[in-house]
């Protein structure tokens, strides 16, 4: 077997296992330039060999721990308490713990995907859409999901970044910059909100509605139209709100969550489809330790973050690098520059002027395997003090439809029901998969499709 140098540059993720997470967070690169170098077969074989050796060493260490009668309570200096995970019902997926560490699954193994929330959350549904039959791992905070991937407890993390009604989720953009994970995919998930309460509770008796801040903002107009004079209270996630109502037997409180959350926690649906717009979609990104190799045989999207230099019309010059190469921008988001929030400008006429410094997140429709994208970033780098490629990944081209309602006409009786197609994995967890909206007319025993849209 060929000897492998200790400084092999092709395996940064394995080398980082010997360093605590605090040292990883101190990496502060000032510039980043993406180079789509295709790994050679020797590099790939070297990585496989080292991964196999790591597995063997870990197995030996576990045998030694068992023979000594001690438990493996920490790894690389990280103790169990560093991951504060959600305590949930034992019949649901078991909460994550640091002792669940194991190498990434080999070919044919089940992919482990970390998400924020409890079972029934929309992030869990997004994980099921992106990776069918995956093992969904609940975490109580988004940062815990990042740590789970960095510590090799999970293989992927699901992160919502924007909603068609509520806009960008700023907290998660900050986490993308703070951690060194890579975007490897995206999923656009239609969101269908329901008003949930304990069985027997009527809407007139409600005094409070709890849910995630994004869900509350997405249903604000509908809640007002329902005539609910209630207090809106924000919690960490939608499914967690449903679990909280059920666990504490709150008969004056309702939760905004999915229909699956109602089934999981034994709640009734007081109102269905309460989002203000039926075209309510949340965009999620999938995160991994290593980037994927960009391709040109299918539509790709690339996400970057940068801070521009001082000067006149610098932001215009940066964005012109994409316009001149016919590269479409799908998003631009600004966030405060935490390391340099304010810039002072000395001017004899006006005294000391202060300007706020911002980081800019940009998504554009091009693969880093394309020469035009590489040239665009080379030009962007001339006007920036910081540039980092967050990921180049396939675009989600899955067709979707708005809220799913089917109207039935039978004589003078009209009923509206919601139909969802669910996909079930090997662990018997169901995920909203695809929905269709149609209007049927029922005449005697015949069912005629009038319109599908």
DSSP per position, 242-300 = HHHHHHTT-TTEEEEE-HHHHHHHT-EEEEE--SSSS--EEEEEEEESSPPPP-SSS-E
**CA 124 – CA 113 distance, rounded (Å):** 9
Q: Whole-angstrom distance between the N-terminal and C-terminal Cα of the chain?
A: 60
SS3 3: coil
Return the C-alpha torsion angle 58, 59, 60, 66, nearest 10. 110
Tokens describing residue 15? 């080398």
Tokens describing residue 59? 């197995």
Picking from 231, 233, 238, 246, the residue whose alpha carbon sits closest to that of residue 197 is 246
Catalytic site includes residue 284? yes
122 neighbors 189 (Cβ within 8 angstroms): yes
Q: Which of 146, 284, 306, 383 is catalytic?
A: 284
**CA 318 – CA 327 distance, rounded (Å):** 13
**CA 14 – CA 83 distance, rounded (Å):** 21
Rg over alpha carbons for the chain, rounded to the nearest Å, is 25
Contacts of 80 by beta carbon, 8 Å cutoff, 6+ apart? 73, 74, 97, 98, 99
273 neighbors 402 (Cβ within 8 angstroms): no
- Give residue for tokens 């993308």: 176
SS3 159: strand
Catalytic site includes residue 282? yes
**CA 100 – CA 448 distance, rounded (Å):** 53
3-state secondary structure 201-249: CCHHHCCEEEECHHHHHHCHHHHHHCCCCCEEEECCCHHHHHHHHHHCC
Q: Given CA atoms 2, 8, 13, 19 in this order, what sign does their dihedral have?
A: positive
Q: Which of 222, 238, 282, 384 is catalytic?
A: 282
**CA 149 – CA 202 distance, rounded (Å):** 43
Which residue numbers are catalytic?
A: 282, 284
């Amino acid at each position: 077997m060929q000897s492998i140098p200790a400084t092999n540059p092709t395996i940064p993720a394995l080398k980082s296992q010997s360093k605590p997470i605090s040292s990883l967070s101190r990496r502060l690169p000032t510039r980043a330039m993406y180079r789509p170098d295709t790994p050679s077969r020797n590099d790939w074989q070297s990585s496989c060999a080292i991964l196999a050796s790591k597995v063997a060493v870990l197995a030996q260490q576990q045998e030694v721990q068992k023979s000594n009668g001690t438990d493996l309570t920490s790894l690389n200096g990280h103790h169990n308490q560093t991951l504060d995970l959600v305590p949930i019902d034992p019949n649901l997926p078991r909460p994550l713990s640091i002792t669940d560490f194991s190498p990434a699954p080999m070919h044919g193994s089940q992919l482990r995907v970390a998400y924020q929330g409890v079972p029934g959350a929309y992030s869990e549904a997004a994980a099921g859409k992106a990776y069918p039959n995956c093992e969904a791992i609940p975490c109580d905070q988004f940062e815990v999901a990042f740590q789970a991937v960095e510590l090799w407890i999970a293989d992927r993390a699901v992160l919502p970044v924007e909603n068609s009604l509520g806009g960008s989720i700023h907290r998660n953009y900050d986490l993308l910059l703070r951690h060194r994970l890579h975007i490897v995919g995206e999923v656009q998930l239609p969101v269908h909100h329901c008003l949930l309460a304990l069985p027997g509770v009527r809407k007139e008796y409600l005094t409070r509605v709890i849910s995630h801040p994004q869900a509350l903002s997405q249903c604000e107009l509908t809640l007002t139209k329902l005539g609910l004079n209630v207090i809106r209270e924000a919690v960490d996630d939608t499914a967690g709100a449903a679990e909280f109502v059920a666990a504490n037997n709150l008969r004056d409180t309702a939760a905004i969550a999915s229909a699956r959350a109602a089934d999981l926690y034994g709640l009734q649906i007081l109102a269905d489809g309460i989002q203000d717009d039926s075209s309510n979609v949340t965009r999620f990104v999938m995160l991994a330790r290593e980037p994927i190799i960009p391709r040109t045989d299918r539509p790709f999207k690339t996400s970057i973050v940068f801070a521009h230099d001082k000067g006149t019309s610098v932001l215009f010059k940066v964005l012109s690098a994409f316009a001149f190469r016919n590269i479409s921008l799908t998003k631009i988001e600004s966030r405060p520059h935490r390391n340099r929030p304010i810039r002072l400008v000395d001017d004899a006429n006006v005294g000391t002027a202060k300007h706020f410094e911002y980081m800019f997140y940009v998504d554009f429709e091009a693969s880093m395997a394309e020469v035009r994208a590489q040239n665009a970033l080379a030009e962007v780098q001339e006007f920036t003090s910081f540039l980092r490629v967050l990921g180049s990944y396939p675009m989600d081209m899955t067709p979707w439809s708005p809220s799913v309602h089917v109207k039935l006409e039978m004589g003078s009786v009209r009923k509206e029901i919601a139909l969802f197609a669910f996909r079930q994995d090997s662990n018997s967890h169901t995920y909203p998969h695809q929905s269709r909206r149609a209007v049927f007319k029922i005449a005697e025993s015949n069912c005629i499709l009038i319109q599908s849209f």
